[in-house]
Structure 1
Amino acid sequence: MQGFCVIGIIILIGYIAARFHIGGPTAQMVLNRFSYFVSTPCLMFAILSKEHLSDVFKPSIAVAIACAVITGAVFLALNASVFHLKPTDATIGVLDSMYMNANNIGLPIATYILGNPAAVTPIVLIQQVLFTPAALTSLDLASSGRVSAKAIASQPLRQPILIGVTIGIVVSAISDAVGWFVVPSYIYDPINIVGNSAVPLILMAFGMSLHGSKPLGRGSNRAATVTAALLKNAVMPAIAFAIARTMGFQGHDLYACVVLAALPTAQNVYNYAARYDAGTMIARDGILLSTLSSPIFIFAIAALLG
């Protein structure tokens, strides 16, 4: 609850800022773009460069990948048969249903419920290395209307978050090989300070988006949004439980896989939607629903498996 309270207060600050027109009409866009192009890449580098790769590539990473992919595939199947969203909106819907808030909610939950803050590191890695590049590539190609081998191959060069993740992993591998952290503190510290601004910037931009809007109001696809939130908070933990049990997980390891799968949708999804001006209503409303209902599911899991 402390973790949920923290993000709620920061979102409220963003809402109040928009309510009183602090920052002007472009404040939300500026916060989103700065976080996307500067803060979040710095954050990913700061986190991953100091992680030992052995702590990241654990068996639980397979559970996280599988349950997320299956949940996203379920949303795509429902979209093809029921919702019929356009490609950009469908991509955001998939992210709503599978993209976990591993940083600002995952960290306190991993700390207070699981007793291991490093438990979210594999989730951070797979989302930034696998899911984010795939989703941003889809959004970029769909919004530009151009699909070519050259455009696909050049995608990594246009994704600052992936660049930050990649450099962080490389630095981690080099540091493990030589036995000490190779980045001097006078270089690492400013990158880390800028990276620490990513989460509050994203949360405040999300709060600004709530001003003057009515969640699930006219023009929003309520059925798709509610379905994405339910897939994220209810179906994904059930899939994680089934996969983890099949892989032989028991006790605390099984519990951790299921609890982390019940994390709400990350505010990054709105950041990506705003960056491409695609599916912003689905992203905003899906995140809101998922964040509000996630504690109920997490508490139920804790009661059953804790």
Structure 2
Amino acid sequence: MMGLISAMQGFCVIGIIILIGYIAARFHIGGPTAQMVLNRFSYFVSTPCLMFAILSKEHLSDVFKPSIGVAILCATITGVLFLILNATIFHLKPADTTIGVLDSMYMNANNIGLPIATYILGNPAAVTPIVLIQQVLFTPAALTSLDLSSRGKVSVKAIVSQPLHQPILIGVLIGIVTSAASDAAGWFVVPSYIYDPINIVGNSAVPLILMAFGMSLHGSKPLGGGTSRAATITAALLKNAVMPAVAFTLAYAMGFRGHELYSCVILAALPTAQNVYNYAARYDAGTTLARDGILLSTLSSPVFIFVIAALLG
């Protein structure tokens, strides 16, 4: 019961901030570029600072837990399920299929995951393994597939250098290196006059992310013309319903119990990440599928997280 109450309180905080962003967009506060500015600032500045501030003071044993294996396996299994369904039912084009797979497995560890980890799980660092596996494993694989299906060739340089263009991943890696250096030295190696301003800027990440998301909801019309509705709905259900069930099965079989099991399942229920739309737009492939899948997954995700909180919290 306490888990459900905590989830309700967390979503209340998240929902109010999202609503503020929606109202701001509704009354054109900040102008037409407000959402873009908030998104870009949080992506390139606030969130990398937050990731560094959190991880630099975390012990590496608290970051690289066995639960990272659950995240990798449940995402892979869900993506394979979409591939099977597409081969037998949807028959999407190769590039669109890649986007559908990402819709079904790519977790929103930043815009939604970070607030949920903060307000519901009580540990912002819980999303770190997801950020790592998605940027280091899943993104290069997806870009390789999109290169092959859209361009007929693979740009090895673009794929290998992709992680270097992810500021959040860079913030995570610098934080991990700092944590390792501090453990080796026996004291925190970053002076307070450097750490404190980074931490202050990082604390703006969550409200900026949520308000930008609220702005994005204004005027959205999901599942419009030209959409593969069945594939879109299936991808959202795989992401929000099937993936948490797979995560529960794997985590329980691996011996996880209590809060660790709860965290694995809650994080698996995160909606599809906005990055999927960025990749779709870059390759001009499956943009409608990406947009509608993200929106449908994001709007329905709280329902599934409430159910998980009621059952496991």
Band of TM-score, shorter chain:
0.7 to 0.9
CA offsets 1:238-290 (integer angstroms, 9 cap, x no match): 21122223323345544443343233445665677678887665455434433
Distance in 2 of aligned mates of 1:39 and 1:82: 42
Distance in 2 of aligned mates of 1:157 and 1:144: 22
Show the counterpart of 1:78: 85
With the length of structure 1 as denominator, give the TM-score of the two structures. Answer: 0.80
Show the counterpart of 2:230: 223
Show the counterpart of 1:260: 267
Show the counterpart of 2:3: none
CA offsets 1:96-140 (integer angstroms, 9 cap, x no match): 3230543111332223xxxx7765554454445544565577778
Show the counterpart of 2:167: 160
The 1:255/1:6 distance shift into structure 2, 3 A limit, reads closer
After TM superposition, the structure 1 = structure 2 runs for residues 51-200 of structure 1, keeping only pairs within 5 Å, are 51-83=58-90, 90-98=97-105, 99-100=107-108, 101-111=112-122, 119-131=126-138, 147-200=154-207
Show the counterpart of 1:31: 38
Of 239, 254, 257 in structure 2, the residue corresponding to residue 232 of structure 1 is 239
Partner AA of 1:58 in structure 2: K
The 1:66/1:25 distance shift into structure 2, 3 A limit, reads same
> Structure 1 stretch 13-22 or stretch 72-81: which is displaced more?
72-81
Please say if residues 60 and 257 of structure 1, whose CA atoms lie closer than 8 Å, have aligned partners that are also in contact.
Answer: yes
Please say if residues 136 and 163 of structure 2, whose CA atoms lie closer than 8 Å, have aligned partners that are also in contact.
Answer: no
1:91 to partner: Cα distance:
4.8
Gaps of 5+ in 2: 1-7
Show the counterpart of 2:4: none
Distance in 2 of aligned mates of 1:89 and 1:300: 31
Distance in 2 of aligned mates of 1:68 and 1:34: 29
Show the counterpart of 1:204: 211
Tell me the number of residue pairs that the alignment of Structure 1 and Structure 2 aligns.
302
> Structure 1 stretch 122-131 or stretch 148-157: which is displaced more?
122-131
Distance in 2 of aligned mates of 1:183 and 1:272: 36
Q: Secondary structure of 1:154's partner?
A: helix
Please say if residues 202 and 267 of structure 1, whose CA atoms lie closer than 8 Å, have aligned partners that are also in contact.
Answer: no
After TM superposition, the structure 1 = structure 2 runs for residues 42-53 of structure 1, keeping only pairs within 5 Å, are 42-53=49-60
Q: Secondary structure of 1:110's partner?
A: coil
* 1:12 corresponds to 2:19: yes
Show the counterpart of 2:305: 298
Distance in 2 of aligned mates of 1:9 and 1:304: 25
Distance in 2 of aligned mates of 1:256 and 1:41: 22
Distance in 1 of aligned mates of 2:154 and 2:224: 34
> Structure 1 stretch 119-128 or stretch 267-276: which is displaced more?
267-276
CA-atom RMSD, angstroms?
Answer: 3.4
Show the counterpart of 2:10: 3
Distance in 2 of aligned mates of 1:237 and 1:147: 33
The 1:148/1:4 distance shift into structure 2, 3 A limit, reads same
1:189 to partner: Cα distance:
2.1
1:77 to partner: Cα distance:
3.8
The 1:153/1:184 distance shift into structure 2, 3 A limit, reads same
Distance in 1 of aligned mates of 2:229 and 2:214: 20
Please say if residues 280 and 287 of structure 2, whose CA atoms lie closer than 8 Å, have aligned partners that are also in contact.
Answer: yes
With the length of structure 2 as denominator, give the TM-score of the two structures. Answer: 0.78
Of 243, 248, 251 in structure 1, the residue corresponding to residue 255 of structure 2 is 248
Distance in 2 of aligned mates of 1:145 and 1:36: 31
Partner AA of 2:209 in structure 1: I
Distance in 2 of aligned mates of 1:85 and 1:40: 35
CA offsets 1:170-225 (integer angstroms, 9 cap, x no match): 11111111122211222222222222333333333322222223122234432232
Gaps of 5+ in 1: none
Partner AA of 1:107 in structure 2: T
Please say if residues 202 and 268 of structure 1, whose CA atoms lie closer than 8 Å, have aligned partners that are also in contact.
Answer: no
1:74 to partner: Cα distance:
2.2
Distance in 1 of aligned mates of 2:164 and 2:99: 22
